[in-house]
Structure 1
């Protein structure tokens, strides 16, 4: 077989995007599939413990709501632990092997899940499936970002975000279609089993695709990294543009070396902790916006909160997912034009208003006009989220974190996604059972607070190479000036990806050369690095690639 399936340039980038996108579709499918089953008769026949409409004898509605939340939330809790495992496994295995491992775990978990006959089996299998997905969602955005060009990176990851919603939409329609097979258990077993097909597609195609060139440099595999960079651009390895890009990646890698989990919490020259915190908060914001209140419980909200029939509730959920997917395409064509910050603020403001209107509309169940208003704004809320936050939190953390800690930092940020996802999934049924419409008020306030947070603390990353982001933070003195520095620093690439400033002409390149010279001059005579650590022979031989250089 030809290297990288014989693909180069745009075709190779598309192939990577297809596999990465399939993984995100699988992620979305997993999130959405359970929502349409929670009120299905054949499903509740096997798992009556989670029937909130007709609780088992001796059980209160609040207790059953908690059991339902645990069942649904087991998946997100598994995702959390999978993301935590990636903190250590990510740099050790590499991007591709981590995704392969996660996909295999998902196949095992899904097989057990679709064959469940008891609630305990269902909960455990959902946790296993989530563990594999947590590994994938911690790694795929990094792999995608590290194999994309600066002028295409945002658009490519936003396509992945759109595919998350495609997966959600697909799960809703499958749930609806197979509900007609009631009372057969196939009505819920097949929709759960379908995710295995997507995981097998990933496992079949990813082995022949390139590893991240930045991870290859990190591991000292420079020849392979140069080969990948050339293939991704469709240019010969000795091309000036490829050589400049390779040198930039190499210098950053040699400066940073082997960053680990603990390095994420260092406030060094690269401001690791600052950047890890931005990535973490970005992921947290996505989840506490309340999106999974809709994604996981859309059919339940339509049926129990608005008072619609079971069939109409599932139909509207499917339509909601379809509109959600259509809205996600807006971000694909606006992410590079308007930038990350503008879309995040626009989305948060719209979500806040939507939640406030939902609170007023669902406070009077049975009122036809208010029920229609609530239905409309469930669609509107999803639209604002799709534009501003859907793909953003899979793009921004991978862009904002430095290479040495990119794998552990993205894993840490993804743990925020899943632990706050779990929080929302757990409290939603209980909150609806106890405080009703006031649940929406809480999310309205949270979304409103997200707007100034983005404005003051999140720097723009559009049209920036991953190495340029390092330069921005090298110049940053505190959390308040990074936005201004990112705005003022000249871009190295234009909006079409053409080189504006050669890396060799930048201050970063001159600084890297000074560090290399000082290291070589130091020899093994006990000279000290910038942060006071003693240089070793290994540091000299690899041009400053040890932890001593900060």
Structure 2
């Protein structure tokens, strides 16, 4: 991302890009900017496909939702900053600063990430996958915190290790298989979840709100940029509602709430945009804010959380990468078709998105199971008990929770006999005697077998 931003903000011509002369020029080359933009986008794509996975694997089940929702809030923080920079630099145009500074400003945040990322631990699941079990135990203990119950740590480690060993042979093609773990079913849920976020119509507003305010509502250039910046600020504030409600109300409730609210908002936008009166224009501007509020609460951070929770470790990396590609593909599609739609069908564009959001509601209700307070291993167990796409929601409701709302252990793995036997068999097959002779810890296999 740093390289891509540097290439953009210092672009002069294609030759400069080839030789790597990252210095400020006095002109701009479309070719150079295009290549550098692709580099920045590649870096951003890698971040968006890996960060939610890492967070989901490092957070306890009762805090995972909040952590990922904070990531979503930071997305809106960036959008807000970009709107205010756009408004401020409006007064410097025409000037190279008007386009070079916003591109260069990206570097500031990328450098913050680079400064801290080396101090972050690898996830315990990845460490077990690589055979670094002692490190995995240390990281797990650090993540749980001081005074962690040894039984809790042992149970958690056993669950993680058994799952990792069982799923270590996964490959890209496994995403498209329907074995007992229902890989394809879960991949589709993750992919469609990301797609729903984009086809809701959020980027009609995020990308084009200044154009909507100026061309459809008749605002001046300056006022349209100012209202857009205020819209972004409200968007950022609304995103924090999800941070504090995601664990209380669960994933399904917020997604349903968001879809219903967005559908109603788009319908009202269609009605007000068609009226073309002063009062209707005011209402239209207000509901641009209202739509963002519903989206921020129900869908902004959800698509970075839910796919990482729903897919098993065996296919987590390729499945999350595929799901993330869905997000960017449909982002591109919406951004490209919106201007064309406005030119040809005008206010009816909002009707299309109202119908899409109305369709999202029943799909979520009937096909998306609740993942709140579930460990990643618990979701595996739920899908193993699922016989079709139509009963996974019911199975998720029926399956007892292993962890409480405060992260406390509610039951031992051995409380579920077939699961305990299966895990013990897996560990024994892989030589699961992982005890440390120096401290006399019980082996993982023996721990599971104890009733």
Q: Could you tell me the TM-score, scaled by structure 2's length?
A: 0.89
Q: Aligned-pair distance for 1:123?
A: 2.9
Candidates 444, 461, 470, aligned match of 2:354: 444
State how far apart, in whole Å, the 1-side matches of 2:58 and 2:89 are. Answer: 39
Aligned to 2:378: 468
What's the CA shift string for 1:14-58, capped at 9, x where partnerless? xxxxxxxxxxxxxxxxxxxxxxxxxxxxxxxxxxxxxxxxxxxxx
Equivalent position of 1:389 in the other structure: 299
Alpha-carbon deviations, 1:325-357, whole Å to 9, x = none? 111111111111111001101100110111111
Asked whether the equivalents of residues 230 and 236 of structure 1 are also in contact (C-alpha less than 8 Å), the reply is no
Give unpaired runs (5+ residues) of structure 1.
1-105, 521-541, 544-550
Q: Distance in 2 between matches of 1:356 and 1:492?
A: 42
Where does residue 401 of structure 1 map in the other structure? 311
Give the counterpart of 1:380 among 284, 287, 290: 290
- Tell me how far 1:518 sits from its aligned partner: 6.9
Distance 2:96 2:8 in 1: 13
Match of 1:360 among 264, 268, 271: 271
Q: Pairwise CA RMSD of aligned residues?
A: 1.7
In structure 2, C-alpha distance between the alignment counterparts of 1:401 and 1:113, rounded to whole Å: 36
Partner residue of 1:230 out of 121, 141, 145: 141
Distance 2:147 2:132 in 1: 18
**5 Å matches for 1:54-203?**
106-116=1-11, 117-203=28-114
Q: What pairs up with 1:342-361 in 2 under 5 angstroms? A: 342-361=253-272
Report if the CA contact (8 A) 2:193-2:303 is conserved. Answer: yes
Deviation at 1:237, TM superposition (A): 8.5
Deviation at 1:516, TM superposition (A): 4.8
What SS does the aligned partner of 1:183 have? Answer: coil
Question: Aligned-pair distance for 1:515?
Answer: 4.6
1:122 is displaced (CA, Å) by: 2.9
**What is the CA distance between 1:517 and its match in structure 2?**
5.3
SS of the equivalent of 1:108 reads: helix
> Residues 509-540 of structure 1, C-alpha deviation per residue, up to 9 Å, x if partnerless?
222224555788xxxxxxxxxxxxxxxxxxxx
When normalised by structure 1's length, the TM-score is 0.73
SS at match of 1:347: helix
For residues 516 and 172 of structure 1, the distance between their equivalents in structure 2, rounded to whole angstroms, comes to 54
Does structure 2 conserve the Cα–Cα contact (< 8 Å) formed by 1:235 and 1:242? no
Task: Count how many residue pairs are aligned between Structure 1 and Structure 2.
Answer: 416
- Once structures 1 and 2 are overlaid, which stretch shifts more, 113-122 or 430-439? 113-122
Gaps of 5+ in 2: 12-27, 432-443, 446-451
Single out whichever of 448-457 and 220-229 deviates more from structure 2. 220-229
Q: Which runs of 4+ in 1 moved over 6 A?
A: none
1:319 and 2:230 equivalent?
yes
Q: Is residue 202 of structure 2 the alignment partner of residue 291 of structure 1?
A: yes
SS at match of 1:362: helix
State the alpha-carbon separation in 1 of the partners of residues 2 and 169 from structure 2.
32
Is contact 1:175–1:188 with CA below 8 Å preserved after alignment?
no
User: In the alignment, is residue 213 of structure 1 matched against residue 124 of structure 2?
Assistant: yes
Shift of 1:436: 1.3
Answer whether contact 1:111 1:193 (CA < 8 A) is retained: yes
Aligned to 2:249: 338
**In structure 2, what is the equivalent of residue 103 of structure 1?**
none
